[in-house]
Amino acid sequence: MPTVVALDVSLSMTRPVTIGDNTEEFQRRHLAIHGINTLLDHFTVNCKLEFTSVVLFSYLWEQLVPFTRDVESIKTALTKLEEYNKTCFESVLAGISTLVVEEWGTATSMQVILITDGNMGVGPGSLKETLKKWKSIQAGEVSDEKCPLPFPFHAKLHVMCIANPNDPALSDVIPLYQQLIDLNNKGGEVYVPEGNLSFSSIQAMFQRLADSCYSPYYGLLRCGNLKCNVTLFPPPERYCKQHEFELVQKSICSTLDICGFLDLHDISSPPTLSRHLVLPAAYKADKLHREEKDETEKSKEEEEDSAADEGKVPSFTVLLHGSLKVEGMVAITKVGEDWFGMLYSWADSKKKSSLMLSLFEPGAEAVTWIGDIKNLAPISDFTENPYGEDDNRTPFPVRPLDKRSYAQSCVVWIKAVGLQADMQKVIRHAKKLPDKQQQFYKELNRIRKAALAFGFHELLDAMGAMLERECTMLPGTAHPDAALQLTHAATKLRSEMSTDPAQLIMPLRTNFTTDTDG
Amino acid sequence: MAQIGSHKTIIVLDHSPYFAHSSNQLFEYDVLSKIKTPGIIPAAPITKSLWTVCVETVMEYLRVVYDIFPIKKLVRVVTGSEVMNSWAQKDQNVTIVMNNLAVVGPPKEDEVEEYDVVQGLTKAIEVMCQPSDLQHTLRTSLTDEEAYVDNRGRIICLTNLKSDAQIRMLEGCVSDALNEHSSLAEETDNRLPINFCELVLIHVVPVGDVAKVSERAKHEVSPNLMSEVHVSQSGKFLYNKMIQLVMEHYNLASTTVTGIPMKEEQNASSSANYDVELLHPTETHQDLFNSGNAAEGLIVPSKEGLGINTVTLKWCTPKTNTVEIPPCTTAHRITPVDVNSRPSSCLTNFLLSGRAVMLEQPRKTGSKVISHMLASHGGEIFIHTIPVTRSILEDPPSISEGLGGRVTDYRIPDFREFMKENRLAPALPSMISEDRETPLERAKKHLERTSRCWPMVISETIIFNMASHIDPLPRLIVKEKLDEDDVLECKKAIYHVVGMESRNEPLPVTALGSRGKGPKREEQYRQMWSELETLVRLHANTSPLHQMILDCLLECKKPEDSKTSPKKGEKSVHKEEKMEVSEAEKSWKDIERYQKMTEREKQELNKGDYSEESGPTTKRMRSGSEEPLVRSGGGQNLLSLWTNRIKAVHSMQHVQFAGRAEGEGKAAVLYKQLQEKENEAEATDPPAASKR
């Protein structure tokens, strides 16, 4: 989940803050930067792969640091800030929107963090006015302007107030911030420091944000009795979607249970909700575990030990990755109640490969061509290996019972050309009678059947006339049976019987029939 | 996901005499004679009746729905009081509907049927109260008394409306019928009340006629009924209207694949580029539509003239070896707009043959952006969305830097076999039953059984490195059920290993790679036995036959221990008290010590090992080559073969010294009584040291 930190650099952010007995004068901005650094430090420890960008805004906005994993470069950039005029949310939110869409498209989940001082501004461009305008746009009253919220991508919107919690102005502005978040409608919170403005209260506020939104996923990857602690990046999100009959809400389990394996070309390219790097995490998980107990110097020792041994202790993820890669297979993995995914080896453009988990849509029928996942059985249950004795067969794909229209000869006469093509086919066979007698009658009946279904009885007469004319045009060398069959077919088409869908037009039995049939 | 509420659709066809009128659209059907036989005057074009056009366009609507949503999106066709198909999955296809419509036949002009359409609409409401299979399953699975199954639907009615008053009358009829049938349904178990219904009235007039009623946007008739009125001329206008409606009702979008190279029908040597328009769910282009600005120029009006917009994507001629499977965010079924046209069938046949086609977004900058892929799976064609923007997964940390990344002797070939044996396949119908565990649960159990004893690296195991010796035991022991033959095979394997030990054959210990020799063979065998016991013991509870194998193993193992000399016996007793881990530790120490020895010491040790365990060696010449006989086993050459042979011949000429023949080692033991006193002291010493 890449993060956009939008920092208010309006003049009001330079207001001084007196912290305790300290004589040194600090500005709100310094506190904000301290808060950002808290967040960045959290990333360094818990989610090194997180991308962050810093945007500065006042009446205008600019991107201070493009999306990067280099936390230090952000910290350095934050030390050189200038101040500008007043706070204005409209341009910065629109700016963030463009920025993110250009960089990540609309499918990547984001976190947008607005850091401001709880000053709502006055007049046009103030938060109150802006919200009023946006609401009228959403209600369809104003159509010439666009509202930057909700963002076209999935993003939580957080507002961090660098303000004293007992500031009377805050009680007016917090509901407005909440309205911003509601407009975006993807979640998020307004954060206010607990206690008077100070480095520690700001730090605690940002830590709260970090804990609620950037907690890494730790889980257990299990393959029968083979196990490994893993972490996933990015952490999987909750699934919540309204389906036809129910609201489906699911969270990923802490145990990723491998159920069995499939060949990569059998699963082919299934649709996936999201992809996650699977990284072995024994060390960190242990650490967490230890934190739960009371941490002492002893654990520090162990930490050092484990850090040194990290590379040398065999890890199941490495064994699994290597094998999946060489064999070109995927591991079907249960990630939650009625929710599955697949583990496979994925190589990025630099030819470096990693173990990847792709999550399917919840439900056992997420990949139609492998069928119901719950009905996948171990091959040992079969009396005959479904993959063949020499591994030369595959039980996949699972074929649907019906063929799709493009895979069968369906009749479409919306355009004249469709009808013409079908008529020509009959005429072509007619010209080659009696050799093509079987095909001739098959096509004839196919057209007739469609004509009856469409209630297109006019066509039966027309086709009769066409066949009669064809009969008159037969060359002298033609087989005598040809003329007999054409006349027979034409007569039948125009008869009463022709409109009865229960009947078929059968070839005329002639003296030649025995010679020609078969 | 298509829009909510599209689970059930009922199409009502008006069978009143009005529809026997001509649609006024002329239709050429006789083209062949024009080209090839100039003398003949082609037959006059014919016209379809209004009924025919309605049926045809409805069939196209159905074709699109069934192609893209073969399950869970159900459509029924009603005309008059007759219903063409049921909600059951087997009835949800075009063929069934067509066959039944053929029986109904077209309306006749001279029939008098005044209230036909009302009859049809009432029937539609009645039919909507019937639960679909899915609704039935949901209802029966509900435990909560309060919960109810949502029952929404849409009625599309193709009719001819006489006036605005008639529209109000029809809306009223539907609303009344809805309330009436819903309250009836409340009382019965096999009917569902309708929560919400959408009525789409389509006023059809012959081509060129002016409609007497005007279109009306969606409006509320009653809290559970919305209505809208469309007006369309018959013929291709009605077709376009139905395509627009199916796209709206099922949230579809259109993609035109451009630049498909195709051989000309007449002239096979030249090829021209063709376009094919496809329909599919909108999600396929979600990213494109959401991002707004990037879509400019990509979205153009439909080339088929459908009155809709389509996204143009360029065909990329597929490379023959596309092994790489791109990660896809979505995969949705498609259907060609003009299914039987030559370009469409060319494209679909190409895809059905198993090839995949990448689709490229034309960009002004000229950079190549592959955003979609067309591929078939199991006879159905899907459009896959490939993410085009930057990925947050870029530049992942290297595996070698991570946990376990520097271990080099993973049993990868063995795990590949393990994966193959744990592959999945769709269960046969006979394997699925309600009261049994699901096939997938069985698969997990199989995984659990086969992984009970599965060391990850080569250096952690002996038994899995000697597959040729203990086969088929590791394969059979994990089985859920064994038969007598299997037990026999396993016992044979155990006896084979016993034999190996008695012949003192080397074990494949690779702990030190190719250079060193690893722990002493006696040690190795003990380790091997304990490993084998662990393996078999882990499965002993599976069945009595499994237990038999364990019993056999324990029997075979025991005599080995008791047979050993007092010296060895003491040692093993001493060892058995320790845990397995310390045993391994001990062997590691041995190895380390061994490595520290000089070449000369090693040789002596090896010789010592050999002689000690295999009893007296045959006497041989002390002079000549330093190389012991065993050494030649590794790198044989002609010289070594020859010298070995000569040595063998020579050795036969000697008579063994009686003292050596009786003794245990290479050297005959003299002053045995003294040796025995020292035994105790030696036993605690590491064996290698004692030999020095």
- Contact of A457 with chain B, judged by CB distance below 8 Å, is answered with yes
A-chain residues near B291 (CB < 8 A):
101, 105-106, 152
CB-nearest to B439 from A320, A381, A406 is A381
A-chain residues near B425 (CB < 8 A):
376-377, 379, 382, 386-387, 395-396
> In this structure, what token pair is assigned to residue A347?
């190589």
**How many Å lie between the alpha carbon of A299 and the closest alpha carbon of chain B?**
19
Query: B187 near B231, Cβ under 8 Å?
Result: no
H or E element, residue B113: none
Nearest to B289 by CA among B304, B308, B305, B311: B311
Give the mean pLDDT of A266-280. 89
Would you kindly state where each structural domain of chain B is located, as residue ranges?
8-136+149-249, 253-385, 410-426+436-446, 452-615, 621-657
A260: CATH: 2.40.290
User: Do residue A428 and residue A353 come from a single domain?
Assistant: no
The answer to whether position A79 is within a domain reads: yes
Closest chain A CA to residue B328: A271
The answer to whether position A386 is within a domain reads: no
User: Do residue A172 and residue A37 come from a single domain?
Assistant: yes
- Check pLDDT > 70 for residue B689: no
User: Do residue A350 and residue A462 come from a single domain?
Assistant: no
Eight-class DSSP state of A246: -
Secondary structure of B283-336 in HEC code, one letter for each residue: HHHHHHHHHCHHHCCCEEECCCCCCCEEEEEEEECCCCCCCCCCCECEEEECEE
Strand order in A52-57's β-sheet?
A61-68, A52-57, A3-8, A110-116, A155-161, A190-191
Judged by average pLDDT, the poorest of B74-88, B89-103, B372-386, B422-436 is B422-436
User: Do residue A46 and residue A155 come from a single domain?
Assistant: yes
Model pLDDT, residue A57 = 86
CB-nearest to A375 from B31, B427, B451 is B427
Average pLDDT, chain B: 78
Q: How far apart are CA A483 and CA A461, in angstroms?
A: 18
Domain B8-136+149-249, what fold? Answer: Rossmann fold (3.40.50)
- Contact of A388 with chain B, judged by CB distance below 8 Å, is answered with no
A147: CATH: 3.40.50.410
Give the CA dihedral B514, B518, B521, B525, nearest 10 degrees.
-100
The answer to whether position A401 is within a domain reads: no
Query: A374 near B439, Cβ under 8 Å?
Result: yes
- Check pLDDT > 50 for residue B618: no
Categorize the per-residue pLDDT at B501 as very low, low, confident or very high, splitting at 50, 70 and 90: confident
Q: How far apart are CA A66 and CA A69, in angstroms?
A: 10
A-chain residues near B52 (CB < 8 A):
454-456
CB-nearest to A105 from B340, B387, B456 is B387
pLDDT for A180-229, tens place per residue?
Answer: 888 888 888 889 888 888 888 888 898 998 888 888 889 999 999 998 89
Are B56 and A413 an interchain contact pair (Cβ–Cβ within 8 Å)?
yes
Print the domain residue range for A178. 3-213
Residue from A323, A335, A348, A460 whose CB has the most chain B CBs within 10 Å, to mutate = A323
The answer to whether position A443 is within a domain reads: yes
pLDDT for B5-55, tens place per residue?
Answer: 789 999 999 988 889 888 888 888 777 555 556 566 677 788 899 999 999
User: Do residue A302 and residue A436 come from a single domain?
Assistant: no
CB-nearest to A271 from B106, B330, B431 is B330
User: Do residue A170 and residue A41 come from a single domain?
Assistant: yes
Model pLDDT, residue B150 = 85
Eight-class DSSP state of B465: G
pLDDT for B150-207, tens place per residue?
Answer: 889 999 999 998 888 889 999 999 999 999 998 888 888 788 889 899 999 999 999 8
Q: What angle do CA A84, A88, A89 make, to 5 degrees?
A: 130
CB-nearest to A459 from B31, B32, B46 is B46
User: Do residue A151 and residue A226 come from a single domain?
Assistant: no
CB-nearest to A243 from B1, B338, B432 is B1
User: Do residue A98 and residue A143 come from a single domain?
Assistant: yes
- Check pLDDT > 90 for residue B249: yes
Model pLDDT, residue B279 = 95
The answer to whether position A293 is within a domain reads: yes
Are B48 and A454 an interchain contact pair (Cβ–Cβ within 8 Å)?
yes
User: Do residue A116 and residue A198 come from a single domain?
Assistant: yes
The answer to whether position A391 is within a domain reads: no
Residues 92 to 121 of A: which have CB under 8 A from any B CB? 98, 101, 103-108
Count of CB pairs separated by less than 8 Å, A with B:
423
- Contact of A214 with chain B, judged by CB distance below 8 Å, is answered with no
pLDDT for B72-125, tens place per residue?
Answer: 899 999 988 889 999 999 999 999 999 999 998 888 877 665 557 888 899 999
User: Do residue A368 and residue A244 come from a single domain?
Assistant: yes
Last residue of a domain, one of A213, A231, A258: A213
Q: How far apart are CA B237 and CA A87, in angstroms?
A: 55
A-chain residues near B284 (CB < 8 A):
none
Query: A50 near B394, Cβ under 8 Å?
Result: no
User: Do residue A191 and residue A233 come from a single domain?
Assistant: no
The answer to whether position A107 is within a domain reads: yes
Is ipTM beyond 0.90?
no
Q: Percent of chain A at pLDDT above 70? A: 91
**How many Å lie between the alpha carbon of A298 and the closest alpha carbon of chain B?**
22
- Residue B597 CA: distances (Å) to CA of B632, B634, B682: 22, 21, 20
Are A261 and B422 an interchain contact pair (Cβ–Cβ within 8 Å)?
yes
The answer to whether position A234 is within a domain reads: yes
User: Do residue A262 and residue A202 come from a single domain?
Assistant: no
Judged by average pLDDT, the poorest of B107-116, B266-275, B370-379 is B107-116
**How many Å lie between the alpha carbon of B492 and the closest alpha carbon of chain A?**
23
Q: What is the number of domains present in chain A?
A: 3
Q: How far apart are CA A493 and CA A443, in angstroms?
A: 13
Last residue of a domain, one of A163, A195, A213: A213
